[in-house]
């Protein structure tokens, strides 16, 4: 393995991602693991140079304060306790924070500043080869940033042992299924299986309004599709996924309540017959993009719009109907087209439309028109944990409004969401 590691154990802190990023900013790799890490699990982690016990307000679970396992204390590794039994608590000053961390990481632990994408990729390739052996891997390839980077990494690690499956579940953006097939099958030469499952997914989702239930249905149905495809192939034993760290955090841990479940974290059925391969699960979104660039993927793929696993299913708010879903798809295409024309495509991190399951009175051709509103969302972020709202020129918003209300069937209003994260999340569901 190429990188030294500082291990962060979660003892109820809400600052684990920030702490991990601070250590990585020093050039040292970090991973965040549960507080009750076993001796076997600890020994399996490569090149651990020290452990940070990161306590916080969620340290009391089921009426009792949690603590690290005896294996951690007897490991012989240097330990830094932050807000934990009152020991080594970091000062409030940002500069002194940095000083304490640097002293622990470099002086007490002797860690080397060798965290970079080339070394990360080399480590993950070695780990994937060790995990997979001579077996076959099935990968869900949506064409989004996360799945594209995973595909590139797995192709480099195991080549033809990878089969990519692109499922058209009817919840993709306009033109995406065609684009995915063109780029990956025709240009990159991937072993790509295309599955048209539009009716299957939309029938399962009919009448389902609860966003968590929608996510779980979509996630479970995805796995079913892959199980069916796997049965058609020989030797499939693993399922590749583009899980990243914010997915895991927002889906909840032993000490942090769930914000929302992600299809690749909270929606997996209990009878899953694959072992998971998730080489990006400890990376933040900006690091995933760095990884994609280091793997040689084109900028158009690495820096494309983030897209949730459940697709437009979480942007067609409430129970999904085919006509409203199509309105989301068409309005989203207009927004993306106008942002590209006006120089915002590479400036704004994520932008999309959402349509709630409600109508308001309007006027069309001199008559009353009860139609849907379209919500525009445009935000900037580094790691998807917080986000600010883009200050879109008002004249452009007016132009986009005119296009959507005239070109998208069933829409009579356009609204702009001004809420940052927190208190809002990036997506509405």
Tens digit of pLDDT for each residue in 108-145?
Answer: 999 999 999 998 999 899 999 999 999 999 998 988 88
Mapping DSSP onto H, E and C, the string for 217-286 reads HHHHHHHHHHHHHHHCCCCEEEEECCCCHHHHHHCCCCCCCCCCCCCCCCCCCCCCCCEEECCCCCCCHH
Q: Which residue has the tokens 């790509």?
A: 192
Residue with more model confidence, 308 or 8: 8
What are the tens digits of pLDDT across the range 256-312? 544 444 444 444 445 557 899 999 998 988 899 999 999 988 887 888 887 887 999
β-bridge pairing 162-168 and 136-140: parallel
Residue 372 clears pLDDT 60, i.e. is over it: yes
**Omega of the bond prior to 423 within 30 degrees of 0, cis?**
yes
Residue 375 clears pLDDT 90, i.e. is over it: yes
Residue with more model confidence, 121 or 83: 121
Q: Distances from the Cα of 255 to the Cαs of 63, 64, 65, 182, 355, in angstroms?
A: 12, 12, 11, 44, 34
80 CB-contact burial (10 Å; exposed 0-12 / middle 13-18 / buried 19+) = buried
Question: Which is it for the CA torsion 114, 118, 122, 125, positive or negative?
Answer: positive
Give percent above pLDDT 70 in the chain: 91
Separation between Cα atoms, residue 400 and residue 223, nearest integer Å? 37
Residue with more model confidence, 306 or 51: 51
Mean pLDDT of the chain: 88
DSSP-derived secondary structure letter, 28: -
Q: Mean pLDDT across the stretch 412-422?
A: 97
The candidate with the shortest Cα–Cα distance to 198, out of 229, 228, 223, 170, is 170
DSSP-derived secondary structure letter, 80: E
Side-chain-side CA neighbours of residue 184 (13 Å): 30
Q: Mean pLDDT across the stretch 93-103?
A: 78
For 86, residues 6+ apart whose C-beta sits below 8 A from its C-beta are none
How much is the pLDDT for 254? Answer: 56
How much is the pLDDT for 157? Answer: 95
Q: Which residue has the tokens 């998971």?
A: 276
The candidate with the shortest Cα–Cα distance to 28, out of 124, 97, 120, 112, is 112
Q: Mean pLDDT across the stretch 157-182?
A: 91
Separation between Cα atoms, residue 266 and residue 203, nearest integer Å? 21
């Amino acid at each position: 393995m190429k990188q030294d590691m500082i291990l962060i154990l979660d003892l109820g802190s809400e600052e684990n991602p920030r702490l991990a990023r601070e250590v990585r900013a020093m050039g040292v790799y970090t991973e965040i693991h549960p507080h009750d890490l076993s001796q076997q699990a600890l020994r399996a982690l490569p090149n651990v140079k020290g452990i940070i016990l990161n306590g916080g307000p969620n340290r009391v679970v089921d009426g009792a304060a949690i603590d690290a396992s005896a294996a951690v204390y007897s490991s012989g590794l240097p330990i830094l306790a932050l807000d934990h039994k009152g020991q080594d608590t970091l000062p409030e000053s940002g500069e002194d924070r940095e000083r304490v961390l640097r002293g622990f990481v470099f002086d007490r632990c002797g860690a080397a500043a060798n965290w970079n994408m080339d070394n990360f990729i080399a480590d993950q390739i070695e780990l994937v080869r060790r995990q997979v052996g001579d077996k076959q891997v099935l990968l869900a390839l949506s064409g989004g940033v996360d799945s594209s980077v995973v595909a590139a990494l797995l192709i480099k690690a195991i080549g033809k042992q990878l089969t990519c499956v692109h499922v058209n579940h009817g919840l993709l953006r306009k033109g995406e299924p065609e684009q995915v097939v063109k780029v990956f099958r025709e240009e990159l030469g991937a072993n790509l299986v295309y599955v048209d499952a539009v009716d299957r997914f939309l029938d399962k989702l009919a009448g389902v309004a609860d966003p968590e239930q929608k996510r779980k249905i979509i996630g479970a149905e995805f796995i079913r599709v892959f199980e069916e495809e796997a049965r058609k192939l020989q030797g499939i034993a693993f399922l590749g996924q583009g899980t990243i760290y914010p997915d895991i955090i927002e889906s909840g841990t032993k000490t942090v309540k769930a914000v929302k479940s992600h299809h690749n974290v909270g929606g997996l059925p209990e009878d899953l017959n694959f072992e998971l391969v998730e080489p990006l699960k400890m990376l933040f979104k900006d690091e995933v993009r760095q990884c994609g660039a280091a793997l040689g993927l084109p900028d158009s793929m690495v820096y494309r719009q983030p897209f949730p696993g459940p697709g437009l299913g979480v942007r067609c708010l409430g129970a999904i109907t085919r006509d409203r879903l199509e309105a989301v798809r068409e309005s989203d295409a207009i927004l993306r087209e106008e942002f590209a024309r006006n120089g915002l495509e590479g400036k704004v991190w994520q932008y999309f439309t959402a349509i709630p399951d409600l109508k308001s009175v309007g006027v069309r051709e001199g008559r009353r028109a009860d139609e849907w509103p379209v919500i525009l969302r445009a935000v900037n972020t580094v790691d998807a944990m917080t986000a600010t709202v883009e200050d879109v020129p008002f004249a452009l918003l007016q132009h986009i409004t005119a296009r959507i209300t005239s070109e998208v069937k069933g829409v009579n209003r356009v609204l702009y969401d001004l809420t940052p994260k927190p208190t809002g999340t990036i997506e509405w569901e």
